[in-house]
Homo-oligomer: A and B are copies of this chain.
Amino acid sequence: MMSSLKHVNPTVKGIKESAHSVLQSLAAHVTQEIAQGVQKPFKGVIDINSGDPHKAGMKPISFVRQVLAVCLHPELLGNKTLPLDVRLRAQRLLEVCEGGSVGSYTDSSGIPHIRQSIADFIIRRDVGVPSYANNVFISAGSQKGLMVILKLLASGEGDTQTGVLTPMPCPHTLPTLLDDAGMTLVPYQLMEDQGWAVDLSELHRALKCGRGHCNPRAIYISNPGNPTGHVQDWKSIEEVIRFAAAERLLLMVDEVYQDSVYGQGKEFLSYKRVLFEMGKEYSETVELVSFHSLSSACMGECGLRAGYMELVNMDPEVMYFVDTMLCTDISTPVTGQLALDLMVKPPKPGDHSYDTYTQEILLIRATLSQNAQRAHEFLNDLPGMSSQPAMGGIYLYSRLHLPSDIIQKAKIVEVEADVLYCQMLLEEEGVFLGAGCQNGETTGNHYLRLCILVPTDTLEKVLAQLASFHLRLIDKHPPTDR
């Protein structure tokens, strides 16, 4: 029987309540209190701790939703109030669904037509670098793809356990994934004073250190950076690739925010594109996995659950196992797969939906870019806060110089000081931000994480409430950094 917990799978039993879930539970509790009529100085919790754009009030892309609606209810093919290109596209997508229905299973690696659309998109994006549908694997979100790769890499215990070089700070979901997969996190520090750039000597230091206690076999990169907002340039990417090649590390590149680079003079460059300009010595040998997702900035379709990964220079037998492991999911939700096709193959100039689509995308990008600048300037004006400007991605990551008695109090109640700060902010103002310790911070510094992919008025509200809380706190406790 399962009733006695001593019989629950010991691996499962080891799962600890993370700082993330502590704050999540508190947010749920506060929301419930409000629903039950408890009086608060705010009407509800504003959650910008992680990226969930539609929840925050961002609008979906009309073209995407129109096509999906027709695919679900094909009678709408005859509805002339819907643009012609919407109906033609839906018809085409229904043709690639088995039995013409989104209700059928698909191949475990995704609908072949859509894997091809993705490969075509990658070729255009990378200015002609070849890409093949067989190397593209669709999964129920990019995290699911990453889990498959991690499971393939995992082996050994103790000194022989697979290690992954992991940026600090890193995406807040990553440490748990590595832990679940039975892998050692080998931290490399990003350079805050250089806008969170990757530093080559730090990579060497981290690798050497990691080799002392595990078997590092991969390096994780987030570009545009989650949560740092850093965007790597050609030289930096080339350095990382040379490092990975020399040290025989698999490159795992989270490029899910490739559609949202807004920093002056910055542009998104894929690792694959740079790799293929480095000559055959690299382009035919370095193993690379790149992740992208429907939850990306412009689409923000988190609830539809789909993403993909492209595998480069991977052994065909490894590809076979990737396919086999995706089989346990049976198939990725079909509505999500269709939305991926729409993401990588948007309306073209001349199509009926082109203007609307373009306006909607531009609006999202403008909101993101303005929010990034506004939040950066606003926070830097507050005493005890200093952030690097975000150049891309959907987060602002701000240093927090906490009063020493807050740090003392945190020690007493046995939480990280930045978590304590976020708890107080949540309780007093109903604003839910992320704490740096969730992003793997172990330097002793404290940080806040804000998702900036929200409507402008929401951001203003958050900033005002954050400032009000922060100034009260500073007022009560003179600011000193340890």
Which residues of A approach B to under 8 Å, CB–CB?
A: 1-5, 7-10, 12-13, 15, 52-58, 60, 62, 65-66, 68-70, 72-73, 76, 79, 81, 97-99, 101-106, 140-141, 143-144, 147, 151-155, 177, 180, 217, 248-250, 287, 299-305, 313-315, 317-318, 321, 324-325, 328-336
A7 to chain B, nearest CB (A): 7
Contact A99 to B57, CB < 8 A, known contacts A66-B73, A106-B303, A217-B1: yes
In the complex, A144→B5 CA distance in Å? Answer: 22
Contact A69 to B60, CB < 8 A, known contacts A103-B304, A318-B3: no
Say which residue of B9, B68, B97, B152 sits within 8 Å of A9 (CB atoms).
B152
Find chain B residues with CB under 8 A from A301 CB.
Answer: 103
Determine if B315 and A5 form an interchain contact, defined as CB atoms under 8 angstroms apart: yes
A296 to chain B, nearest CB (A): 12
Find chain B residues with CB under 8 A from A328 CB.
Answer: 147, 177, 180
Determine if A287 and B104 form an interchain contact, defined as CB atoms under 8 angstroms apart: no
A-B complex: 7 closest residue pairs judged by Cβ atoms: A303-B334, A54-B101, A69-B73, A333-B333, A54-B103, A55-B98, A55-B104
Find chain B residues with CB under 8 A from A7 CB.
Answer: 155, 217
14 A–B contacts, CB within 8 A, in A order: A2-B315, A3-B313, A8-B155, A8-B318, A9-B154, A52-B98, A52-B99, A54-B98, A69-B70, A102-B303, A105-B303, A180-B328, A302-B330, A302-B331
Find chain B residues with CB under 8 A from A5 CB.
Answer: 315, 317-318
Determine if A305 and B331 form an interchain contact, defined as CB atoms under 8 angstroms apart: yes
Chain B, residue nearest A16 (CB): B324
Determine if B155 and A2 form an interchain contact, defined as CB atoms under 8 angstroms apart: no
Beyond contacts A69-B70, A177-B328: 5 other A-B pairs, Cβ-Cβ < 8 A, are A2-B153, A2-B217, A54-B103, A102-B303, A180-B328
Find chain B residues with CB under 8 A from A151 CB.
Answer: 9, 12
Contact A65 to B55, CB < 8 A, known contacts A103-B303, A330-B141: no
A2 to chain B, nearest CB (A): 5
Find chain B residues with CB under 8 A from A70 CB.
Answer: 69
Find chain B residues with CB under 8 A from A2 CB.
Answer: 152-153, 217, 250, 287, 314-315, 318
In the complex, A314→B7 CA distance in Å? Answer: 13
Determine if A287 and B3 form an interchain contact, defined as CB atoms under 8 angstroms apart: yes
Chain B, residue nearest A86 (CB): B73
Find chain B residues with CB under 8 A from A68 CB.
Answer: 72-73
In the complex, A106→B55 CA distance in Å? Answer: 10
In the complex, A287→B102 CA distance in Å? Answer: 36
Chain B, residue nearest A300 (CB): B103
Say which residue of B66, B140, B154, B300 sits within 8 Å of A333 (CB atoms).
B140
A77 to chain B, nearest CB (A): 11
Determine if B103 and A153 form an interchain contact, defined as CB atoms under 8 angstroms apart: no
A177 to chain B, nearest CB (A): 8
Determine if A103 and B60 form an interchain contact, defined as CB atoms under 8 angstroms apart: yes
A250 to chain B, nearest CB (A): 6
Find chain B residues with CB under 8 A from A302 CB.
Answer: 103-105, 330-331
Determine if B65 and A303 form an interchain contact, defined as CB atoms under 8 angstroms apart: no
Find chain B residues with CB under 8 A from A69 CB.
Answer: 69-70, 72-73, 76
Chain B, residue nearest A102 (CB): B303
In the complex, A359→B335 CA distance in Å? Answer: 26
Find chain B residues with CB under 8 A from A102 CB.
Answer: 303-304
Contact A8 to B287, CB < 8 A, known contacts A105-B303, A140-B329, A321-B15: no
In the complex, A99→B303 CA distance in Å? Answer: 11
In the complex, A321→B21 CA distance in Å? Answer: 13
Determine if B9 and A143 form an interchain contact, defined as CB atoms under 8 angstroms apart: no
Among A54, A101, A143, A315, max chain B CB count under 10 A is at A101
Contact A65 to B54, CB < 8 A, known contacts A7-B155, A304-B103, A321-B15: no
Contact A315 to B60, CB < 8 A, known contacts A73-B69, A105-B52: no
